[in-house]
Amino acid sequence: MNTLRVGWIFFKVGVLNELQYRVNFVVQLFQSAIALVVGLLVLALVYSHTDELNGWSRSELLCVLGIQILMGGAIKTYIQPNMMRLIEDVRDGKLDYALTKPEDSQVLVSVREVRIWQVVDLVSGSVVLAVGLADVSAGVGALDALAFGVALLLGAAMIYCFWLVIATGSFWIVNMWHAVELFDGIFQTGRWPVGIYPGWLRYSVTFLVPIAFAVTVPAQAVTSRLEWQTLVLAAVFGVVLLVFARWFFRFGLRRYSGASA
Amino acid sequence: MSVRAQTEVLPLREPGRLRSLVDLYLTTMRMAVQEQFQYRTANYFYMLGMIAEPVIYLVVWTTIAEQQGGSVQGLTVGYFAAYYIVWTLVRNMNIVFGAPFWEYRIREGDLNRDLLRPVLPLHYDIAYFAGWKVVVIVLWIPLAIGLSLVFDPLLDPRPLEIAVFAVAIWGAYLIRTMFQEALGMLCFWTTRGAAIFDLWMTTELLLSGRLVPLPLMPDWVQDISRFLPFQWAFFFPIESLVGELSNEELLRGLGAQLLWTLIGLAIFRLAWKRAVKRYSAVGG
């Protein structure tokens, strides 16, 4: 409970802080619009040469695109800014300020930042998803919707774990900036159902960087092609990752000696 | 020395200027090579991050080609593999002193220092990034070998095609440099150039051949891109090596590259003259 309360307070302060910079909203709107238009153009281009891609119809891929934008928005609103701050703080020795507070340090480093204008992507992703769904012939049952919600949450949790592990790496390697560029590039694989990738890449973006769980699995849920085994696998893998990430973070903390002190 | 020797030296002034410019280029390039080679790990991460993009395009188009019996619009699976592998080098050659950096240069006051130098900052930018490219090309080779082992490209260039490609990647570099520098001049008038730069980049993405080989685009898009610089900085270099261009097409392509470089340079010079007049120093 206390965790949620702390998270909520940080969230409120973060939002108030961001609301000062309103022009950023317009900038974000513009950038999101460009990214969306490009995404739609690519889909149009692909489906001008084919009717289906590896068994996925155009409107089903629209759902994938929507979920990818949505998840990307969630990552950039919350996960990435916090983890970037963690990497920075370790380098500058400012992590002391978080560690000396009487609260779980993993919780603290995970909730300190929020980029509220990225919400634009949450909205536009949802709209794209809705438009895609309206055209999906099978329709979405209540069970599908539930599975979608669960899969989305699990996916977000796994991406968080992935980021925490990467950011924890900064206890050993000072310059983790490049990890961000790498991630941004690899996250684009989520635009397409992972089934199209060759084996090595498919496994990498499933278990090494859990993009398949974050985007493809929820998309499978809303297009009625999700098997329950996949969801169970996602749940088990998600729990394993959460435990591992927590252990790894504490393991890394032991190496931290503070640079400012 | 004798009087005669002096009179012989005097007419050399113009060639001397050229020589010192060449010297500036070589020195700056050498500096860039040494500097960037120190950051080889960072450079490698950067290149690896960029690989995701062509690999995704490649997989998507390979999937479509295979669904349709091996080719899309006559482009085969092997062609796509070759196209997107060569793509990675051309993409790297397309990284230049970008327009957004002009904002930084002005805001931070770096331009004050640059203006005191007896040569245009443009020369320095071209030389520095060209030197960097040498490092990039060396680092690219193992990457290309790795990608070739995974994706099985169909690549069978003639000697002339290899020669044209070797020149064309530098032509691509120059075109992109000129247009980015010219675009960067906007920063002298506005601090919100970012929106225009984003639009420009998006147009480039669609019309240059970065997204897909241009033959996959609708005809009207291909018609438009014929009259724009973008494809000469991206599609043409790749196609010169991967495609089946005739000798005449190859040479005409190099001509187009030269033409667009000069057009870009002319626009830059025109804008630069006005920009410097407008400029008032910030910071120090």
Mean pLDDT of B144-170: 94
Residue A223 CA to residue A195 CA, distance in Å, equals 14
Question: At residue B228, does pLDDT exceed 50?
Answer: yes
- Which residue(s) pair with A56 in the sheet? A53
Residue A97 CA to residue A115 CA, distance in Å, equals 21
B74 touches A: beta carbon within 8 Å: no
Residue A109 CA to residue A87 CA, distance in Å, equals 10
Interface of B with A in 134-173 (CB under 8 A): 150
Chain A residue numbers with beta carbons less than 8 Å from the beta carbon of B48 are 182
Chain B residue numbers with beta carbons less than 8 Å from the beta carbon of A27 are 194-195
Model confidence at B14, in pLDDT bands (50, 70, 90)? low
B221 touches A: beta carbon within 8 Å: no
- The answer to whether the CB of A63 falls within 8 A of the CB of A132 is yes
pLDDT tens for each residue of B76-133: 999 999 999 999 999 999 999 989 999 888 888 888 888 888 888 899 999 999 999 9
Chain B: closest CA distance from residue A124 (Å): 19
Q: Residue A144's pLDDT is what?
A: 87
- The answer to whether the CB of B84 falls within 8 A of the CB of B57 is yes
Q: Do B60 and A182 touch (CB under 8 A)?
A: no
pTM reported for the whole predicted model: 0.88
Report the share of chain A in percent with pLDDT over 70: 97
Q: Do B50 and A189 touch (CB under 8 A)?
A: no
Please provide residue A4's backbone torsions phi and psi, each rounded to the nearest 5 degrees.
Answer: -65, -40
Mean pLDDT of B259-282: 90
A229 touches B: beta carbon within 8 Å: no
Residues 6+ apart with CB under 8 A from B9: none
Position B17, amino acid: R
Mean pLDDT of A160-166: 95
Model confidence at A241, in pLDDT bands (50, 70, 90)? very high
- The answer to whether the CB of A127 falls within 8 A of the CB of A216 is no
pLDDT tens for each residue of A128-137: 999 999 887 6
What ipTM was estimated for this complex?
Answer: 0.88
Question: At residue B8, does pLDDT exceed 60?
Answer: no
Chain B residue numbers with beta carbons less than 8 Å from the beta carbon of A38 are 202, 205-206
Nearest residue in chain A measured CA to CA from B44: A178
Q: Is B217 left (phi over 0), alpha (psi -120 to 50) or beta?
A: beta
Residue B32 CA to residue B3 CA, distance in Å, equals 42
Please provide residue B111's backbone torsions phi and psi, each rounded to the nearest 5 degrees.
Answer: -65, -30
Residue B149 CA to residue B153 CA, distance in Å, equals 8
Residue A1's Cβ-side half-sphere holds a number of Cα atoms within 13 Å equal to 0
A49 touches B: beta carbon within 8 Å: yes
Interface of A with B in 185-224 (CB under 8 A): 185-186, 188-189, 191-192, 196-198, 200-201
Own/partner long-range contacts of A140-143 (Cβ < 8 Å, ≥24 apart): A140/A222, A140/A224, A141/A224
Question: At residue B4, does pLDDT exceed 70?
Answer: no
Closest CB to B198: pick one of A31, A52, A181: A31
Average pLDDT, chain B: 89
pLDDT tens for each residue of B42-66: 788 888 888 889 999 999 999 999 9
Residue B121 CA to residue B127 CA, distance in Å, equals 10
Q: What is the DSSP string of chain A?
A: -HHHHHHHHHHHHHHHHHHT-THHHHHHHHHHHHHHHHHHHHHHHHHHH-S-BTTB-HHHHHHHHHHHHHHHHHIIIIIHHHHHHHHHHHHHTTHHHHHTSSS-HHHHHHHS---GGGHHHHHHHHHHHHHHHHH-TT---HHHHHHHHHHHHHHHHHHHHHHHHHHHGGGT-S--HHHHHHHHHHHGGGGS-GGGS-HHHHHIIIIISTHIIIIIHHHHHHTT---HHHHHHHHHHHHHHHHHHHHHHHHHHTT---S--
A182 touches B: beta carbon within 8 Å: yes
The tokens for A242 are 């959460």
A46 touches B: beta carbon within 8 Å: yes
Of B226, B188, B185, nearest to B207 (Cα)? Answer: B226
pLDDT tens for each residue of A167-184: 998 888 877 777 777 888
Of B125, B124, B117, nearest to B98 (Cα)? Answer: B125
Question: At residue A261, does pLDDT exceed 60?
Answer: no
A124 touches B: beta carbon within 8 Å: no
Q: Do B202 and A37 touch (CB under 8 A)?
A: yes
A251 touches B: beta carbon within 8 Å: no
Of A21, A131, A30, nearest to B195 (Cα)? Answer: A30
